[in-house]
């Protein structure tokens, strides 16, 4: 088991940094893929704060949202209530949570990276059972082939945001084990409200990342075939893409 990110602890800050990456362009891209394959029902099995689930619900999809983190689900429900959206949410583990069968399962923003490779295989078996016949599984993860040659081996500012009178700055000092594909993330987030003394929130966790070839083998072993692969720029994937976005089909 790899060291996990504590989403319950940092749920209230998630949208400040990582949530902003779920902008309209990314959601529109996901929407277009789902429409292309005539998807009607979606199970977002790592829904987090509801960034994709709420967007897709408003676009007319029937959405079932679940997440391992109670804290993230609480925020998703709060956002849904504010927008007067009846979103079906549950706390559940992607490795064993049972949902109503859907035309597509999604797990975005490197969500599978929180699983060891053996746990990812367990998740795929569970996803398979939660999909309708010929259903799609759509996910993304950092590209290990790219990281091997472009990894930042020094401390850097990952993100900086200002919201009202509160300032957020996040530093990363990460390590990559090329052999295991484990990205050891060491983050420190500084939060300052006005000119009050800042607080610092440290977090150390692991992310399992993959090459496309390895993903192909794992998916095939678990009865999925890849239909399309995109890079982080939403164009066709190349070895120089930062991320791998996979559209796979249950077979």
Q: Which residues of 139-176 are buried (b: 16+ CB within 10 A; e: fewer)?
A: bbbbbbbbbeeeeeeeeeebbeeeeeeeebbbbeebeb
Q: Has residue 54 got a pLDDT over 80?
A: yes
* Contact (Cβ atoms closer than 8 angstroms) between residue 16 and residue 190: no
Number of domains making up the chain: 2
198 in any annotated domain: yes
In terms of domains, do 64 and 169 share one?
no
> 153-197 pLDDT, tens per residue?
899 999 899 989 999 999 999 999 999 999 999 999 999 999 999
How far is the C-alpha of 139 from the C-alpha of 246, rounded, in Å?
Answer: 6
Which residues form the domain of 94? 7-143+210-250
Residue with tokens 């007067």: 84
Identify the band that residue 13 occupies on the pLDDT scale cut at 50, 70 and 90.
confident
Q: Which DSSP symbol is given to 178? A: T
In terms of domains, do 15 and 97 share one?
yes
171 in any annotated domain: yes
In terms of domains, do 109 and 223 share one?
yes
> 20-32 pLDDT, tens per residue?
555 667 899 999 9
In terms of domains, do 38 and 128 share one?
yes
Q: For residue 123, give every residue at least 6 positions away whose Cβ sits within 8 Å of its Cβ, in sequence order, or none.
A: 94, 95, 107, 112, 115
As given in the structure block, the two tokens for residue 122 are 């367990």
* pLDDT attached to residue 20: 54
In terms of domains, do 157 and 195 share one?
yes
| CATH assignment at residue 179 | 2.20.25.110
Q: Has residue 48 got a pLDDT over 80?
A: yes
* pLDDT attached to residue 8: 64
In terms of domains, do 16 and 114 share one?
yes
| CATH assignment at residue 238 | 3.40.50.150
Mean pLDDT within 234-249: 93
How far is the C-alpha of 19 from the C-alpha of 58, rounded, in Å?
Answer: 18
In terms of domains, do 14 and 96 share one?
yes
In terms of domains, do 16 and 73 share one?
yes
In terms of domains, do 126 and 183 share one?
no
Quote the distance between the C-alpha of residue 164 and its chain's center. Answer: 27
In terms of domains, do 106 and 173 share one?
no
Say whether 20 sits in a helix, a strand or coil.
helix
201 in any annotated domain: yes
Say whether 223 sits in a helix, a strand or coil.
coil
In terms of domains, do 193 and 92 share one?
no
DSSP string computed for 151-170? ---S-EEEEEEEETTEEEEE
1 in any annotated domain: no
2 in any annotated domain: no
Is the dihedral angle over the CA atoms 209, 189, 53, 68 positive or is it negative?
positive
Identify the band that residue 7 occupies on the pLDDT scale cut at 50, 70 and 90.
low
In terms of domains, do 14 and 136 share one?
yes
Quote the distance between the C-alpha of residue 85 and its chain's center. Answer: 22
Q: Has residue 83 got a pLDDT over 80?
A: yes
89 in any annotated domain: yes
* pLDDT attached to residue 22: 52
């Amino acid at each position: 088991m790899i060291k996990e990110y504590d989403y319950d602890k940092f749920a209230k800050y998630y949208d400040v940094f990582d949530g902003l990456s779920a902008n309209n362009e990314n959601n529109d891209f996901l929407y277009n893929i789902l429409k292309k394959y005539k998807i009607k029902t979606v199970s977002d099995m790592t829904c987090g704060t509801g960034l994709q689930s709420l967007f897709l619900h408003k676009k007319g999809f029937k959405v079932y949202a679940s997440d391992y983190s109670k804290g993230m689900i609480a925020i998703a429900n709060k956002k849904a209530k504010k927008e007067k959206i009846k979103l079906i949410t549950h706390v559940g583990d992607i490795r064993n949570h049972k949902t109503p069968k859907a035309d597509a399962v999604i797990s975005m923003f490197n969500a599978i990276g929180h699983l060891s490779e053996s746990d990812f295989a367990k998740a795929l078996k569970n996803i398979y059972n939660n999909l309708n016949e010929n259903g799609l599984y759509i996910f993304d993860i950092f590209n290990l082939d790219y990281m091997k040659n472009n990894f930042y081996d020094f401390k850097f500012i990952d993100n900086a945001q200002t919201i009202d009178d509160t300032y957020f700055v996040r530093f990363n000092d990460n390590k990559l084990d090329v052999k295991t594909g484990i990205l050891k993330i060491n983050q420190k987030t500084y939060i300052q409200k006005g000119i009050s003394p800042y607080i610092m929130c440290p977090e150390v966790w692991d992310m399992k990342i993959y090459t496309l070839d390895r993903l192909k083998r794992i998916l095939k072993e678990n009865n999925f075939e890849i239909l399309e692969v995109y890079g982080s720029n939403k164009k066709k994937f190349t070895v120089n893409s930062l991320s791998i976005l996979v559209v796979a089909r249950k077979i």
